[in-house]
Amino acid sequence: MADRRAVGFGDPDGAPATDPPVAGVATSRQMLDDHAMAHLVPERSKRGHKGSFGKLLVVAGSLDYAGAAFLVCRAAGRAGAGLVTLAVPESLQPLFAAKVVEATTMALPEDDVEEVDPEPALAKILDHDHDALVIGPGLRPSLATADLLRLLLTTPDEPEEGWPEQPSEQAERERPRSVDASPVVLDAEALRTLASADAWWTRVGRRCVLTPHAGEFARLRAGSGHDPADDGDLNTDDDARARAAAAAAAEWKQVVVLKGARTVIADPDGRLAVAPFENPAMASGGTGDVLSGTIGALLAQGLDAFDAASLGVYLHGLAGDVVRDRIGDAGLLAGDLPDALPIGRRRLARLAERDRAGRRLGFGASREAGTADDEAGSTGADPGATTETGDQGGAS
Amino acid sequence: MADRRAVGFGDPDGAPATDPPVAGVATSRQMLDDHAMAHLVPERSKRGHKGSFGKLLVVAGSLDYAGAAFLVCRAAGRAGAGLVTLAVPESLQPLFAAKVVEATTMALPEDDVEEVDPEPALAKILDHDHDALVIGPGLRPSLATADLLRLLLTTPDEPEEGWPEQPSEQAERERPRSVDASPVVLDAEALRTLASADAWWTRVGRRCVLTPHAGEFARLRAGSGHDPADDGDLNTDDDARARAAAAAAAEWKQVVVLKGARTVIADPDGRLAVAPFENPAMASGGTGDVLSGTIGALLAQGLDAFDAASLGVYLHGLAGDVVRDRIGDAGLLAGDLPDALPIGRRRLARLAERDRAGRRLGFGASREAGTADDEAGSTGADPGATTETGDQGGAS
Amino acid sequence: MADRRAVGFGDPDGAPATDPPVAGVATSRQMLDDHAMAHLVPERSKRGHKGSFGKLLVVAGSLDYAGAAFLVCRAAGRAGAGLVTLAVPESLQPLFAAKVVEATTMALPEDDVEEVDPEPALAKILDHDHDALVIGPGLRPSLATADLLRLLLTTPDEPEEGWPEQPSEQAERERPRSVDASPVVLDAEALRTLASADAWWTRVGRRCVLTPHAGEFARLRAGSGHDPADDGDLNTDDDARARAAAAAAAEWKQVVVLKGARTVIADPDGRLAVAPFENPAMASGGTGDVLSGTIGALLAQGLDAFDAASLGVYLHGLAGDVVRDRIGDAGLLAGDLPDALPIGRRRLARLAERDRAGRRLGFGASREAGTADDEAGSTGADPGATTETGDQGGAS
Amino acid sequence: MADRRAVGFGDPDGAPATDPPVAGVATSRQMLDDHAMAHLVPERSKRGHKGSFGKLLVVAGSLDYAGAAFLVCRAAGRAGAGLVTLAVPESLQPLFAAKVVEATTMALPEDDVEEVDPEPALAKILDHDHDALVIGPGLRPSLATADLLRLLLTTPDEPEEGWPEQPSEQAERERPRSVDASPVVLDAEALRTLASADAWWTRVGRRCVLTPHAGEFARLRAGSGHDPADDGDLNTDDDARARAAAAAAAEWKQVVVLKGARTVIADPDGRLAVAPFENPAMASGGTGDVLSGTIGALLAQGLDAFDAASLGVYLHGLAGDVVRDRIGDAGLLAGDLPDALPIGRRRLARLAERDRAGRRLGFGASREAGTADDEAGSTGADPGATTETGDQGGAS
C-alpha cells in the first residue's frame, strides 16, 4: 500500500486545504484519503432492491476492443450498481452476450456492419431506463459513433445538425442544464470525438465526468483552442496537472478526471482533489475501462459527479494497491481489478461507521486514523481469501 | 451473517408458530432457520447415480439476457441436480453451448430468428426426460414465448386456443391436477406473461412455484383483478407482504415466493414462511436467476413445491450471506452465488445428522443451536478456501 | 475421504487377493488402494518433452453436448498428457476453439452440417500423430458417427461394409490384434453405437477400454445376446457388478469399466479390480467425461489398458473425494474435478517413492500406510490453496 | 523448486564463467540464477503509463491452434507489457475477440478464409504502433503466412520476390541492421517457415529471438546446410546443446533459445547462458507459447534481445516451479503459468533492491543468497493465496 503520508502536499488527515489560486482559478485542493472518502460511500439500505442501487447503461466495445466493454460492466457490478446493460452494435451482440454474465446486452440498430445508425440508436438508448451512462471505452472510431455521442450529449436540447457554433458567453452562462438527463462518464473514443468537435462544451445538456489520460487531455485542450505545451508536463508535474485540470473543468463546465499517477479530479466550481496513488502496476491496458465503470456505477447510485469521480478514483486506486500487494509492480491485468473493488469499499464503509460512532461518543474522526491504516495493511491479502474479523470493537 | 435472533417474530428455534388469521386466511407463519431447513435437505444415497438426483429442464435465456440462463443452470448444478439441460431457440444454441460446461443444451424449433415455434417446441420439451422445469429467466418477450408457456402449463389438459374463460368456482375446485406433469418454477418473463393472461390459474395443470419480486407480484395481482395498492407496501411492510403472498397463493392455488428482503413463501394450503435474510448485496442483477435454478434443482430432487421453495430461498440466502461476509454490502455479482450454495447445504446436512444423533441420545434439537451458530460464523471464509474439520464430535 | 478400511472385502493393504471363481470365470479381484495404485503412476523423466508424455486424440462433443468435449480435454491435460487434440465436425470447430485453451482442435470433414463424412474423417484422424484415442463423450448420435466409429475400430483390418458376421470361435481366438493401432477409450455415444452393432467385438483391431455406466452396460449386454436381467442389480449388488463386468470383458476381449459407486474394472485375462469410492457428489452430469479423459491420458502415457483404466478410475475417485471434502455430498460440478486430479497423482507418486526407499532400507510397503492416510486427510483442503510440505523425511 | 546448486557446472552464485572454447566458438557460459537475473528486471517508474511499459504486437493463432494466441497475450500481460495487441486473419477476429480480455485484437486482411493477404497485412502491422513483435505461435502453415513473415523480417530492407540468394560473406558482415525496426520473437510456425527458406539469416533486418525446441532446431540447422546428427543429442546432452545453440546463433546472427530441460540461450556475440530448470510438468502443450509471450513483453519493455531471452526463460522457469510445487510433476496446464509469472519477477526485483542496498552498505551480492533461497521456498504457495510480508528488513 503506498505510503500516503509522504506525499508532502495536501493535508494527510484529509481535511480540504485551500491552495493559493492557480492560473486565476480559486481552488480548494484536497488530497483524497480514507476519511474523506469514507463519508461518500453510499449507504446501502437493508430493504433495497436491485433498482434501488442504480441502473447503468454502458455504450462501449467493438470488435477490436471487446475487452473494454467487459471490464466496464464487471467493474460497475463490483462497484455496487444494481443493474448494468451493455449497448453494442447489433452485429456484435452475440459476441458480447457470450462474454458477460450479470450484465444484460442491448442491440443498437446499424446501417452497416458494426456501424450504428445514430437516430434509432439514440431512441433505443433513451427508451431504456437508466440512472447513468458510460460512453466511450473501446468504441470504434467512426462518424456514426460521433453522431450518436453528439445526439446523446445534446439531448434533450434538440440539437440541430452538427456541433453548434460557439454561442456568446452570456448565452452559455444562461444555458439551462437539463435536470432530467442522466449523468454520463465520457472516456476514450468519446473524448477523442469531443476533441475534434467545435465548442462541444457549450451545448452539452448533461452532467459529465470526463476521464482523459494525459494524451487525451492534451488533445481536448488543443480542441478548445489551447496550446497543450502551455499546460506544462502533464505526466510528472503535479502542480501543472492540477492547474490544467482545474482550468479545463472551469472552461468545459464539467468534472474532469486527469488520469495517471496522482490522478486529479477537478470540478467546474473550483473544487480540486488529488489521489495519492502512484502504482506502476496500474499502467496496463484496460485499467481505465475499470475506472469508468466504477465512476459510472457510483453516478447510478446517486452520487454527485464530483463525488462519484473522487470516490471512483479512490476505490480504483485501492483496488490497484490490493493487487500490487499481491503480485508486485508489474503484471497486473485490468481484469484483476474489479474483484478487488469491494475490499476498498467495505473498508471505507466500516471507517464511516466508526466515525459516526466516534462522533456520537464525542470523539473526532482523526482518532480513527491509526485503526484505518492498520486495516489498510491487511488488505494486501488475496481478496478471495481475505476474511476480516468483524468490527465489534467499534470506536472504543 | 445476519443475526436471525433479532428478528422479533416467528420462533427463533424454527418451530412453526400459528399467526392470528390475516386477511381472512388462516396461516401458520414460520420464520425459516437452520433447524427447520436442515430436515428438508434431501438425503443423498451413496449408491445414487446422476439420474437419481434429478433432471432439470431449463427454458431460459435470450440474446439480451444470456447470462440469466447460465446462472440458472450453474445454480441448479451447485444445488445438487444430477443433470441440467438448457432449452433455447435453435439460432441461439451455439451461443449457449459456448457458455455452459456441465449443462447440456437443446435447440427449440423456431419459425423466425430467436422466435420459438410453440407446438414443435412443446413436443421437444415433453419428449425430453425431466423431473422439473424452470421457465422464464431471461426469456425474450413475445407471443411465441407466451404460447409456449401456455401450452406447457396447461398440458396435459389439452388446452384449446387462448387462455380459457374463467370456470365456475365449483369446476375450479374439482379440477384434477395432473400428477404426472413435472413441477415448474415460473420466473421473470413467465410471470409477466401470466400477468396479462386471463385467469391463468384456473387451468394450470402443473404444480408451480412462482417467484415474483414486488413489481412482478403487483402486476400479477392486477392481472387477477386486485388493486395492488390494496396490498400495501410490498417492499418494506412485512405483514403486508405476508398477507398478500398468502392471498395470492390461495387464489392461484400455487406456491408463491415473494422475493425481496425477508422473502415470503406461501402455500395454497395456508402455510406461510418468511426467510430472515436482509442482504443489500443481493440487490443485484441475476440473483433471482440463481434462486429459480436452486428451487428447480430441489424440485427435481423430489421435494414438495413448498419445501423446495422454502429450502431454495434459504440456501440462496445463506449463499448471499457467505459472499457478503467476504466482500461486504455491495459489489456482489450473481455469479458469486452458485459456488457458495453447497456451503449452506453441507451445514444444514450436518445439523440434520446431529439432530438425528441427538434424538437417539435423548436430546432435543434445541441443544444444537449453539453449535450451529458457531459453524455459521465460520462460513464467512472464502468458500474456495474453507476446510471445515470433520464432525467427529457428533452430538456430544 | 471415504474410509476404505471399512470396505470388508479385498485386502486393505492392496495386495491382490484371489476370489473364488465367479460365474465360471476365474478372477483375481483386487480392491484398489493407494499402495496398489502408486506403483502404476508413470515416472516422469526430468528430460522429457511434451511428446514424451503422450499425445491424445479426442473425438467428442456436439452442439447439444459441448461441455463433454471440454471436460475430456481438460481432464486429459491434468492427468498428464503432453498434447491433447480435439477432433470435431468442421462446422463446430469455431465453437470448440473458443472453449479450450491448451488443447488444439481439428476439423473433421462433413457431408452435412454437424455430420461427419466418415471416410475422409478417418483419414484425417489416422494422419494425425497420436498415442491414444478417446471416442464418444457428447458425440451426436447419427449413422455417420457410427460409421466413423466402425472404421476407426476395425482399421487397420480393412473392414468391409457393415459390421461383419460373427466369425467362428477359432477364427476369433486367432485374430491378430494390430500392435500398431493406438488404444482407445470408448464412452457414451460410442458405447450406444456398439450396443446395436452385431458382434462388434469379433472384429475390433484395437485395444479398448469401455466405460459404461449400468444403463449403457445393460444395453451392451443385450446387444451381445444376454438378458440384462440375468446380470442382477448392477447399481447396488457389488458381486453382481463384478461378475457381469468380468463376463463382459471375457466375451468382448476388452477392458470393461463398469462405472458407479464402487466402479469395477475387468480385464479379458480375468483380472478384476474394484474401486473403493462411493461418493454421491460424483453423481452429476459430466463426471464420466472426466473419467474417459483421465484414462485416455494414461493410455497415451504408455500404460497398459487395464492399468490405465484402474489408475484412471482411482485418480478420478480421489479427485472426487477432494472436492467432496471441500463442498460436501452435493453440488459438485464435473468441471471441479480436473483441477483436483494432480493432487491424487502427486500423493501416489510420493508414496511410490517412499515404498522404493523403504524397500531399499529393508522395510515392507505396509509400514507406510499410516503416513499415506495422514496425507490423505490433508487433501481435503482447497487444491488451489494446498501447499504440502516436502517429503524430506522419506521412509524414516 | 529445483535444487540449482546441484547443477555442477556454471557458478552457483551466478557470476559468468568463461568456458573453454566449444566447436571453435569462444563463449562465456553462464548458469542463470536469481542474482544474475535480478539486475535485468526492468525498473518500473512510479510515474510510468501504459505506453511506458511497452507495446507488444502478437501475430499468432489459428482455428486449429486458438489457445496459443491466448497464452502468448496473457503471458505478455503478466510479464509486464503495457499494451498487447493480437493480429489475426480477419475471419477469425470474432473468435479471438471473445477469448481475450485485456489484449486488443486487430484484423489482418485476407484473400481467402483464414488466409492473410501478405502485402496489406504487412502494411497494417507496420502502421500499428509497437515496440516488439511475437510471430508464430499457432499460426496456420501456408504460403501466405510464409510471405507475410518474409516481408516482416526483411522490411525495411525492401526485399525483392522470394528469399534472396546467399550474399557474399563480406556483404553479410556489412549488412546494416535496421535500428528502427522493432525486435521480434520467432516461434513455432515462424521457425518452420525459416527452416525451408534459403539463407534467411542473410537478409533479416530485425533483431530476432528464435525459440526452437530440439525438433524445430534440427530442422532449422538442416535448412542451414548442417547435418543435425552432427549436433549430437539435443534432448539430453547439455554440452551438445550449448555447442549447437552457440554455433547457430553465430551463423544466424540472432539470439537462439534452444528450449527443453536446461534451456540454452545463445547470442551471436558468443554469450551463452543455461537455465537450471528441469521440470517435467512443463512438458505440456502451450508452455512454449507462454515463453514467447514473456520474452516478447521484455523486449517491448526495452531489454536487449539476449537479456530479454535470458530473463524470459528464467521467469518462465520460475513460474513452472511455482506451479510444480503446487500440483506436482504432471498435470500442469500452460494456462497456469502466466498468473505465476509475477511471483518470480517480484522476487527478483526485491533481490535487486537488496543487492543495491547491500552495495551501498559495503556488502557484496553473495551475502544475499541465503535470503533469496529462503524466499524461493515460500513461492511454492498458491500464487493467489500468497501474501508475502514486506521487506522492511532490507539488507540487514
Of all residues in chain A, the one with the smallest CA distance to D297 is: A331
The nearest alpha carbon in chain C to D234 belongs to C47
- Output the pLDDT for position C45: 87
- Residue C391 cell numbers, joined: 517429503
Sign of the CA dihedral B19, B25, B26, B28? negative
Rg value, chain B, Cα: 20
Residues C223-250: pLDDT tens digits? Answer: 999 999 999 999 999 999 999 999 999 9
Question: D284, C48: Cβ pair inside 8 Å?
Answer: no
Size of interface B-C (CB pairs under 8 A): 120
Among B11-25, B48-62, C142-156, D86-100, the minimum mean pLDDT is found in: B11-25
Q: Which residue of A has its CA nearest to D73?
A: A333
The strand pair at C28-31 and C17-18 is best described as antiparallel
Classify burial at D390, counting beta carbons within 10 Å of its beta carbon; exposed 0-12, middle 13-18, buried 19 or more: exposed
- A339-348 as b/e: b if 16+ CB within 10 A: bbbbbbbbbb
- Closest partner residue to D349 (CB to CB) among A63, A328, A382 is A328
Closest CA to C69 of C284, C290, C283: C290
Partner residue facing C286 (CB), from B48, B102, B342: B102
Shortest Cα–Cα distance, A160 to chain B (Å): 32
- Distance of alpha carbon C151 from the chain centroid: 22
- C chain contacts of residue D382, beta-carbon cutoff 8 Å: 384-387
Range of lowest pLDDT (A27-31, A79-83, C145-149, D119-123): A27-31
Q: Compute CA distances C189 → B54, C54, C60, C62, D303, whole Å.
A: 21, 25, 9, 11, 53
Q: What is the model's pLDDT at position A272?
A: 97
CA distances (Å), origin B53, targets B125, C92, C263: 20, 31, 19
Q: What is the pLDDT of residues D361-376, one digit of tens each?
A: 766 544 444 333 334 3
ipTM: 0.84
Mutate to test the interface with A, among D101, D294, D353, D389 (most CBs of A within 10 A): D101
Q: Which residues of D touch C130 (CB under 8 A)?
A: none
Contact A102 B381 (CB under 8 A): no
Residue B24's pLDDT band (cuts 50, 70, 90): very low
Contact yes or no for A1/A380 (Cβ under 8 A):
yes
What's the pLDDT band for B140 if we cut at 50, 70, 90? very high
What pLDDT digit, counting tens, does each position of B148-164 carry?
999 999 865 344 455 65
D157-182 pLDDT, tens digit each: 344 455 655 555 554 444 444 446 89
pLDDT at D377 over 60: no
Tens-digit pLDDT profile for residues D226-265: 999 999 999 999 999 999 999 999 999 999 999 999 999 9
pLDDT band at B52 (very low <50, low <70, confident <90, very high): confident
Q: Out of A45-59, A84-98, C67-81, pick the least confident.
A: A45-59
Nearest residue, CB atoms, B47 vs list C261, C325, C332: C261
* pLDDT confidence bin for A165, thresholds 50/70/90: low
Which segment of A186-190, B47-51, C287-291, C335-339 scores lowest on mean pLDDT? Answer: B47-51
Asked whether B252 and B236 are in contact (CB, 8 A), the reply is: no
**Closest by Cβ to D101, choosing from A71, A278, A381:** A71
How far is residue A360's CA from residue A365's CA, in Å, rounded to a whole number?
Answer: 11
A64/D106 touch (CB, cutoff 8 Å), yes or no: yes
Q: Is B180 helix (H, G, I), strand (E, B) or coil?
A: coil
Residue B337: is its pLDDT beyond 90?
yes
Please state the rounded mean pLDDT for residues D257-283: 97
The chains in contact with chain A, meaning 3 or more Cβ pairs closer than 8 Å, are: B, D
Chains that touch B (3 or more CB pairs under 8 A): A, C
Q: How far is CA A98 from CA A60, B70, B92, B99, in A?
A: 15, 10, 11, 6
B19: which residues sit within 8 A by CB, 6+ positions away? B27, B28, B29, B242, B272
Per-residue pLDDT tens, chain C, 396 aa: give them. Answer: 333 332 223 333 444 444 444 444 445 689 999 999 999 999 988 888 888 899 999 999 999 999 999 999 999 999 999 999 999 999 999 999 999 999 999 999 999 988 999 999 999 999 999 999 999 999 999 999 999 999 999 865 344 455 655 555 554 444 444 446 899 999 999 999 999 999 999 999 899 999 999 999 999 999 999 999 999 999 999 999 999 999 999 999 999 999 999 999 999 999 999 999 999 999 999 999 999 999 999 999 999 999 999 999 999 999 999 999 999 999 999 999 999 999 999 999 999 999 888 877 766 544 444 333 334 333 333 333 333 333 333 333
pLDDT on residue A49? 81
Instruction: Tell me the one-letter amino acid at D179.
Output: V
Phi, psi angles (nearest 5°) of residue C94: -60, -40
- Output DSSP code: residue C162: S
For A49, the closest chain B residue by CA position comes to: B283
More confident residue, A180 or B115: B115
* pTM reported for the whole predicted model: 0.87
Provide the mean pLDDT of chain A.
84
Whether residue B13 has pLDDT greater than 60: no
| pLDDT greater than 80 at residue D9 | no
D181-224 tens-digit pLDDT: 899 999 999 999 999 999 999 999 899 999 999 999 999 999 99
Per-residue pLDDT at C24: 44
Residues of A in contact with B261 (CB under 8 A): 46-48
Letter string b/e over residues B293-314, b meaning 16 or more CB atoms within 10 A of that residue's CB: bbbbbbbbbebebbbbbbbbbb
Phi, psi values for residue B106, rounded to 5° = -145, 135
Q: Read off the pLDDT of each residue in B100-121 and give the average, rounded to a whole number.
A: 95
pLDDT digits (tens, 9 = 90+) for D297-330: 999 999 999 999 999 999 999 999 999 999 999 9
Distance (Å, rounded) from C-alpha C389 to C-alpha D292?
Answer: 32
